[in-house]
Structure 1
Amino acid sequence: MSKPFDMELFLSGVLTGPYATRQRHVRQAKIIQAEIANRWQRETPWAWQKKHVAWFLKNRLSHRSEATRYYYLLTARLLARRLGTSWLFYL
């Protein structure tokens, strides 16, 4: 039996700032992870491609406010930084 992926541990190297901000990024990253795992069966960020995160930002957040989309964009950029990729996302 394998352990579930720990998103908080994964992001710990790139998270800075106040506690509430770090918790928001972890919470949003878990939501992104769950949606991608549900849609493409990609459980960990290392299995993701840019199209997976772009799909989430475009389709799953289309009915959300501009502020909410912006905060998810910041989380997606943190995920890309942690993965060491050169992915760029825009709203």
Structure 2
Amino acid sequence: MRERHLRQAKTIQAEISNRLHKDNPWTWQRKHLAWFLNRHVNQHAESTRYYWLLTAHLLTLRLGKFNL
């Protein structure tokens, strides 16, 4: 499961970096992660969304900046 979260976190970082020009997760704001979740996660099945949201939650805990 750890590999899945790492892979998803890299996908999140790449998308935010490409679209919003925020290369470093420490510079993210809540709106950046919300943009990714709204754009990418809503199109997936509920079971898949669970894992994306869990990855996002783990990121927010690690960054310690904002709560979802």
Q: Which residue of 1 aligns with 2:10?
A: 30
The two structures have a TM-score, normalised by structure 1, of 0.70
| Paired residue type of 2:32 | H
CA deviations 1:9-28 (Å, max 9, x no partner) are xxxxxxxxxxxx11000000
- Which stretches in structure 2 are left out of the alignment for 5+ residues? none
- Cα root mean square deviation, aligned: 0.9
8 Å contact kept, 2:30–2:66: no
Q: Which residue of 2 aligns with 1:85?
A: 65
Q: Which residue of 2 aligns with 1:12?
A: none
The two structures have a TM-score, normalised by structure 2, of 0.92
Task: Give the alignment partner of residue 63 of structure 1, picking from 29, 32, 43.
Answer: 43
Higher percent of residues as helix? 2
Structure 1 or 2, whichever has the larger Rg, is 1
**Partners of 1:31 and 1:43 in 2: CA distance:** 12
- Report % sequence identity: 57
